[in-house]
Amino acid sequence: MNYNFFKRSSIAIVLLPYIAFSLKLLTQSSYTTFTAVTFFLIILLSIELIYRHITKSNRLFNVILSILTISVIVTFFYGQLIVSSATNSFMSSSKLMNFRQRDSILYLLIFLILIQIILIKKRHFYNILTNMFCVVLFLSNLSLFAYNKLSPQKNKTEIQQSNSFLINNNTTAKPLLFILTDEYSSPDELFKLYKDSSIYNFSDSLTKTGWTVKKSFNTSCAATASVFSSIMNFNLSKKDSSFRKLETTNLVMKYLMNPGLCDSLRSKNVNFINFGIFDFYDHKSLTPLYPETRLYHFPKNFAELFLYKSLFCYVFYKSANFKPYGLNNSIFPSELHNKFIFSKLSDSVSKATKNTFVYAHFFMPHPPFIFTPEFPFRPITTDNYYSYWKFSNIKLAELLKKLTKENKYRIIITGDHGFRGDDKINPLKTFSAYWGFEKSDIDNVEAVDDIGLLINAYLH
């Protein structure tokens, strides 16, 4: 075998595993067109040829340039994977608050530069190993992708719902608030584990003040994007459970950018207020005025799609859309997100017209377990989830008391799924409560996925 080609560093070869990691995302997206792919390959080939021409000699400048180029490219395209791994490790450690995610990016870059400097006299051998490793990794991931693509898969819907859904439309128009609490376990599930009657304090207090409560409420799956896609498309899980095979980014772009519920509400001239984590049409998640509270960034073209698994999107939302002040913010945008909703939701909806739909998405009691200064950071354990779950109830109770004080709104509060970090807790059991709805209509809501039907019926 001729190793001469592998003796020199190659940008294209280094990128091969990244392309393989992104194949599912790329092949499912409408942004991936023949023109876009051709243009990308031309650019990549041009960069590779320029890079090889510049670094073809052994002069010190060329060697240094080669080391820096490869180090930066590896850090940029693979850094998010390493940052995420580091974050997950530290989130299970009480030492997290001494760790900054962006530091790991710098450490990675320094490490790559140093390792190449140390091996500078053996760089040809190092390049051969690196290039061959990338090729093998690319081929193995490509084979795995092809195998998964060709393997027959059964479509399963975890919960079978009734097809009947009759709604009483003789209702007075009011703003409708849909509040989703992420990863909220059913109190019944937690009671089985902890045998603590105080678990029911929140749900019982809601019942006593006029809410209709479902303490154990079914959901179709334990993934937020899938559940919410189903809600916003009139129980999509009942019609076609195969949609959950889509990579999350493509799932969101296909089913949540233009969901069926929003189509219906727009046709009825319903106004939108979005305090959520997903965009609908031109209704951005939360508000562009507060980019530091946005949790997700979704591609708008092929270039952003290709860079989605790189550091581009990670830095984009961690730095508040590339704002310098974003670097000084909390390590967890989710904490800012939750605090923003608690501070702004009541005032915002007080100005809403009767025919208004409000979506608010709390990223709690979902990890990370932090709401400073009231709830300092705690690592991910079942006991800490339970503590944060109870803390979330206290914060939600305060908010709901304000919202129901003058009986101006209809309100739905629900979890999307339960805690996924303990086999003793069923993640397909959550909780929901309803204010201002007919009980006969609520009884027809058999699962979280049905809530979109209820919302659509009451906004007319």
Block residue for tokens 């584990």: 193
Q: Which of 34-38, 88-92, 223-227 has the lowest mean pLDDT?
A: 88-92
Residue 324 has pLDDT above 80, yes or no: no
pLDDT per residue over 203-248, tens digit each?
999 999 999 999 999 999 999 999 999 999 999 888 877 787 787 7
DSSP string, 332-395: -HHHHHHHHHHHHHHHHHHT--SSEEEEEEE--SSSSEEETTTEEEE-S-HHHHHHHHHHHHHH
Which residue has better confidence, 170 or 120? 120
Distance of CA 210 to the CA centre of its chain: 33
Tell me if 169 sits within 8 A of 460, measured CB to CB. Answer: yes
Of residues 341, 349, 357, the one with CA closest to residue 458: 357
Q: Which of 49-58, 91-100, 182-191, 366-375 has the lowest mean pLDDT?
A: 91-100
Residue 387 phi, psi (nearest 5): -65, -40
Residue 166 has pLDDT above 90, yes or no: no
pLDDT at 454 (0 to 100): 94
Tell me if 355 sits within 8 A of 456, measured CB to CB. Answer: no
pLDDT at 316 (0 to 100): 64
Tell me if 254 sits within 8 A of 339, measured CB to CB. Answer: no
pLDDT at 397 (0 to 100): 97
How many residues does this entry show for the chain? Answer: 460
* Radius of gyration of the chain, Cα coordinates, nearest whole angstrom: 25
pLDDT at 325 (0 to 100): 44
Q: How far is CA 335 from CA 266, 296, 340, 354, in A?
A: 31, 14, 9, 31
What's the whole-number mean pLDDT along residues 157-161?
36
pLDDT at 286 (0 to 100): 62
Residues with Cβ < 8 Å from 26, sequence gap 6 or more? 19, 32, 305, 306
Distance of CA 383 to the CA centre of its chain: 24
Instruction: Note the pTM of the prediction, 2 decimals.
Output: 0.77
Q: How far is CA 413 from CA 209, 272, 362, in A?
A: 15, 17, 10
Quickly name the fold that domain 176-295+324-458 has. Answer: Alkaline Phosphatase, subunit A (3.40.720)
Distance of CA 160 to the CA centre of its chain: 26
Cβ burial 394-412 (10 Å sphere, 16+ → b, else e): ebbeebbeebbeeebbbbb
* Burial classification of residue 167, based on how many CB atoms lie within 10 Å of its CB (0-12 exposed, 13-18 middle, 19 or more buried): middle
At 123, the pLDDT band (50, 70, 90 cuts) reads confident
What's the whole-number mean pLDDT along residues 325-337?
65
Residue 290 has pLDDT above 50, yes or no: no
Q: Where in the chain is the domain with CATH 3.40.720.10?
A: 176-295+324-458
Residue 170 has pLDDT above 50, yes or no: yes
